[in-house]
Amino acid sequence: MKDILEAPFLIEMVRTAANMYSHGWDERNGGNISLRLDEADAAQHLDTSAAIRDIPTGFEAPELEGLCFLVTGAGKYFKNIPYDPARNLGIIRIVQGGNTARLLWGLSDGGSFTSELPAHLMSHAARLRADPRQRVVMHCHPSNLLAMTYVHDLDERAFTRTLWQMCTECVMVFPDGVNVLPWMLCGTNEIGRATADKMETARLVVWAQHGIYGAGADLDETFGLIETAEKAAEIYLKIAHLPLKATLSDSAIRQIAAHTGVTPREGWLE
Ligand code: 2HA
Ligand code: ZN
């Protein structure tokens, strides 16, 4: 069996977490990531029939039965992931209809999976229905997007339109726009279900006064999605209080979309 610390999926996870930390998106134990593993890939690096311990999840996710996920641990600091991946990360298999996460590797100090597992797993299920390539759910606290939720209308169309108007790239990167949840208590099944509902129509879901969720086919793509939205929010906060001399018009955004072959969310451009 190959060394798990040399598994491309593990290396990429560690690098991504470190990069998110260095962007300032994951202070202290903020943020969490889950990556759906390919069974054959995982089997090259760990005993996938292992059952180190079973951890109850407190919710059902029958569509995910049998699937394996590499996840960040509850209370773990992204800053520390590169120094001790086996302590700060875990590989779980979803069993008993989603009621149980069977630990196959990691969480070596006896810890548990991320407190946001409901939002992650329910979002995986929702995105898998929309896109079979779906593998990653990523949550973090980027400052500009978070700040924007204090001063911008939280209407999803209005919020998305502002982001699309801030950078030429935005409509190409998230043509489905950004959905927004009002503030809710985190770490619960309720916010998990609400996030997954929002994930049915967009790969980005803002949690007002908290942070953002992104979903995608791989770590790079999902990181890039959040990075692009966060950049747009940064531009917005730089200009929102200044007299506007120019804007990216709906017609310009339509041209960008047509040129790059993406379809902006129906009805979100005038
Ligand atoms: O604890 O970001 O939303 C990690 C979080 C909770
Ligand atoms: Zn959070």
pLDDT in tens, 80-106: 999 999 999 999 999 999 999 999 999
Closest CA to 196 of 220, 215, 222, 174: 215
Please give the residue range of the domain that contains residue 17.
Answer: 1-114
Query: In the structure, what pLDDT confidence band is assigned to residue 45 with cuts at 50, 70 and 90?
Result: very high
Residue 184 Cβ inside 6 Å of ligand 1? The answer reads: no
Give the integer Cα–Cα distance in Å for 88 and 141.
19
Exposed, middle or buried by CB within 10 Å (0-12, 13-18, 19+), for 251? exposed
Rounded distance from Cα 32 to ligand 2 centre (Å): 7
Same domain, 147 and 105: no
List, for residues 213-255, the tens digit of each pLDDT value: 999 999 999 999 999 999 999 999 999 999 999 999 999 999 9
Rounded distance from Cα 254 to ligand 2 centre (Å): 33
Same domain, 19 and 141: no
The percentage of the chain sitting over the pLDDT mark of 90, rounded to a whole number, equals 100
Same domain, 53 and 142: no
Residue 160 Cβ inside 6 Å of ligand 1? The answer reads: no
- Which of 64, 83, 114 is the last residue in one of the domains? 114
Q: How many domains does the chain have?
A: 2
List, for residues 103-134, the tens digit of each pLDDT value: 999 999 999 999 999 999 999 999 999 999 99
Same domain, 34 and 50: yes
Residue 252, CA distances (Å) to 166, 169, 177 in order: 12, 12, 16
Same domain, 173 and 270: yes
Same domain, 142 and 212: yes
Same domain, 90 and 35: yes
Tokens of residue 86, six digits: 């086996």
Given this model, what pLDDT does residue 117 score?
A: 96
Rounded distance from Cα 61 to ligand 2 centre (Å): 22
Given this model, what pLDDT does residue 194 score?
A: 98
Contact indicator for 215, 226 with CB cutoff of 8 Å: no
Q: What is the CATH number of the domain that holds 163?
A: 3.40.225.10
Closest CA to 198 of 163, 154, 165: 154
Other CB atoms within a 10 A radius of the CB of residue 202 amount to 23
Give the integer Cα–Cα distance in Å for 184 and 151.
18
Residue 18, CA distances (Å) to 13, 45, 114 in order: 9, 22, 17
Q: Which residue has the tokens 């800053």?
A: 79
Q: Of all atoms in ligand 1, which is nearest to the CA of residue 140? A: 2
